[in-house]
Structure 1
């Protein structure tokens, strides 16, 4: 291991790289690295330059969080007072269509899961669980959407 620098180099905030023992084996001088928060040529880096990145990150996070925060605020504080509640929401035609589509899609997903399980175990295919579950969710959503569209066309 290379000894720590002495004299004026140690006061400037420079030190030797602890992972630099291979350079000594090759006969090269040790590489100097700056201490955290210090630049090689004198002191700390400019605060305005470091602060710009933090300010930009805060603005991006604020812009990304603004939409969901406004929607949640409207839902909690405004919607109960301005949107009238339907007393017979459970008896609507769209509700029955959604129930029919959901129950049919659930049956399809159960059958598809069983067939996939049999095929994967018989063929001895090794697939990640993340991939299989992702395909299962996509199948369920697509099947529900198609079934809802078909039921609503028949009922209309």
Structure 2
């Protein structure tokens, strides 16, 4: 798993419209790369909506928000449309990017073990360097925490 101070692993993934999106295309901008378990589930919806509600602040500061899960493009499209998410969701159906970031592995939910994603966020600076990693995410307050970490809130 990459650490703070290391270069963020590069990748190219399809977004919810089938466009190929590469981390490299955002060089020169700050990037919030957040991994979440599943589209349209309670915690993931709260997290996505917190980013949606603060989207103006991110745009104003030139910060790109990218959400990544194992869901496919159609699932992402439905999720984004249902909640009017103004940022890009990326489909990591083969979990190669999730593995590169160390977020894919055995998870446990309601006593059941399965292979899936851990909820984790990486803040990446203009040079592609990871400047902060959120291992524990409060889904409702996360967007505000991210803005504060970038020194842009309140």
The TM-score by the shorter chain falls in which range? under 0.3
Query: When the two structures are superposed, what TM-score results if normalisation uses the length of structure 2?
Result: 0.17
Q: Which protein is richer in strand relative to its size?
A: 2
**Which one has the largest radius of gyration?**
1
Q: Which protein is richer in helix relative to its size?
A: 1
Higher relative contact order (CA 8 A, sep 6+): 2
